[in-house]
Structure 1
């Protein structure tokens, strides 16, 4: 490990070829003493997926080696992952039982904008791939979330039928949203899944966390034993709160989740939630960010929290500074998460050394 492993948030970050790392909206998986960074390959002029999901490896988290395209888009017309689709926020987890690597991502079908709102799943035998696409779809069709077990479907149906009388963003409309109007609307076909992450808990259980209900409500859904499908058990978090970009971690028995508001590619103030159980209830707290541009998450948006040592409280906050006019030039914000009075704090610094977090 190099002693000068310096992280410089927001700057160009070259790989072993001298090329700016192209792994946006991604996450990092640790395998022994090697870290693997997976992310969206962004083209110069479009945010659509023209290549797929890229992979890089590192021993020190600063110097990264390009490992190639882990999941390639398809040239087959009509494929769910056809070149030109929207493929965002890929995350990879390892299943100890099957010894497979499982990738989850947000998928939008080519030419359909953001209407599909699907998850996608791919699997591989090796960390860097190649990954084989398994399926895409909506989440948990014909199943109610456990914290909305007995909704008044008659009232919700009547509300949905009152268009355009029932206007969006009115107090009455928002109250119906909180009661599950969009959950009911999507009940048969399954819940929408956009900005997403996956999380493996201490007991080996895995969870899919995603923005749903037109980005108005987060949902947390349990995955099955091989991590490739949902079990049907899920909850709604912060109904009507407009949260996306979830990043989750756990420290001293408390689950923490950092999110953003919904302002498209433009940055906004990060939010933070905590819970004693992943099923909630989740309590919202102020933004964890402090320093210049903290009210805009330093110009970025959360993508992942890398756990280096959960017991010792060593975590790295990962975010992207989006540049939709030149997507491949999007930058990365990596900052250490510190705890003050038991609460996570993310403080801006122009440069920091990550060796102390990597050392035992």
Structure 2
């Protein structure tokens, strides 16, 4: 049984390499996508502590408890544009299902080794386990995109991304085929320096949970709420409680996962100089009226999933 805050293992005992990722429910299966960090750290020519780009992993599960490695679904080998190299930065993968076209679309934060490009990579696949073929690399609407997530709101889908050197969070509308942006965007948290965005909707409220910008050092998460997805968002408070609330339990948000009407916050517990041993947590989000509380639990999901 895996434990929150620790490295997790799959059904054959290997370390799960799915950092910065998300879980997609499609059919009767859950698909966990994330960065594969399964080699030793090194310092690149730009002085950045990192691991070589291996690819984006996918793990499958029928029950969210036992995970099977389905392989690396995005890598240099699946990139006909020859954009990706061992030095590439490809982070925070998020996958959407395009029901109209019956395909899967992956968005990642894409960057050069010096982190100066700050854009996105878009790839598509016919099946959830890939292989994902790179379609394009872009800056959404000409804006920087660093930490990012995606969110579908009815017929509209948005890329939510830190921009302006992490000073601003943008909500950028995607085209109907989910592979580009329409030109519409809206700002939130101007000059608040929020990153690692996550978004969900419950009742009358849209919520975000974000991290502050303190590099690798954990910081207190903050949640916001509004009756509207990308306007009037107001930072409220840290939803974490207890002795390690000020460091978000030594973790950083990566995704909010809905399961049967319950929401769960996925955290990465980064080990800066040993990234392959970075841990994971999945914690239940408690909604009290219009406020959020996320208590610590050693057990993923806080116990048996209802």
The one-character-per-residue Cα deviations of 1:208-236 (angstroms, maximum 9, x if unpaired) are 00100001110010111111110111101
Equivalent in the alignment of 2:175: 224
Alpha-carbon distance in 1 for matches of 2:138, 2:56: 19
Q: Which runs of 5+ in 1 are unaligned?
A: 1-5, 141-189
SS in structure 1 opposite 2:294? Answer: strand
TM-fit CA distance, 1:273: 1.2
Matched, 1:134 2:86: no
TM-fit CA distance, 1:79: 3.2
Alpha-carbon distance in 2 for matches of 1:37, 1:77: 24
Matched, 1:256 2:201: no
Equivalent in the alignment of 2:63: 60
8 Å contact 1:118–1:138 — kept in the other structure? yes
Equivalent in the alignment of 2:28: 33
* Residue pairs, 1:226-305, within 5 angstroms: 226-305=177-256
Matched, 1:315 2:263: yes
Alpha-carbon distance in 1 for matches of 2:132, 2:86: 16
Equivalent in the alignment of 2:299: 351
Alpha-carbon distance in 1 for matches of 2:207, 2:191: 19
Q: Which runs of 4+ in 1 moved over 3 A?
A: 74-79, 352-357
TM-fit CA distance, 1:204: 3.1
8 Å contact 2:205–2:290 — kept in the other structure? no
* Aligned CA-pair RMSD: 1.8
TM-fit CA distance, 1:356: 4.8
Alpha-carbon distance in 2 for matches of 1:60, 1:284: 34
Structure with the larger strand share: 2
TM-fit CA distance, 1:291: 1.7
**Structure 1 residues 49 and 103, CA gap change in structure 2 (3 angstroms):** farther
Equivalent in the alignment of 1:170: none
Alpha-carbon distance in 2 for matches of 1:37, 1:353: 15
The one-character-per-residue Cα deviations of 1:80-139 (angstroms, maximum 9, x if unpaired) are 222221111000010111111000000112x4x110001110000000100000111111
Equivalent in the alignment of 1:215: 166
**Structure 1 residues 78 and 205, CA gap change in structure 2 (3 angstroms):** closer
* Residue pairs, 1:170-209, within 5 angstroms: 190-201=142-153, 203-209=154-160
Equivalent in the alignment of 1:100: 103
TM-fit CA distance, 1:73: 2.5
Equivalent in the alignment of 1:333: 281
Matched, 1:13 2:8: yes
SS in structure 2 opposite 1:218? Answer: strand
Alpha-carbon distance in 2 for matches of 1:48, 1:210: 23
8 Å contact 1:74–1:83 — kept in the other structure? no
TM-fit CA distance, 1:44: 2.0
Alpha-carbon distance in 1 for matches of 2:7, 2:271: 13
8 Å contact 2:157–2:173 — kept in the other structure? yes
TM-fit CA distance, 1:77: 12
SS in structure 2 opposite 1:92? Answer: strand
Aligned residue pair count = 298
SS in structure 2 opposite 1:89? Answer: strand
TM-score by length of 1: 0.79
Q: Which runs of 5+ in 2 are unaligned?
A: 43-49
The one-character-per-residue Cα deviations of 1:311-357 (angstroms, maximum 9, x if unpaired) are x3x01100101112111000001101111233221101222566754
Equivalent in the alignment of 2:46: none
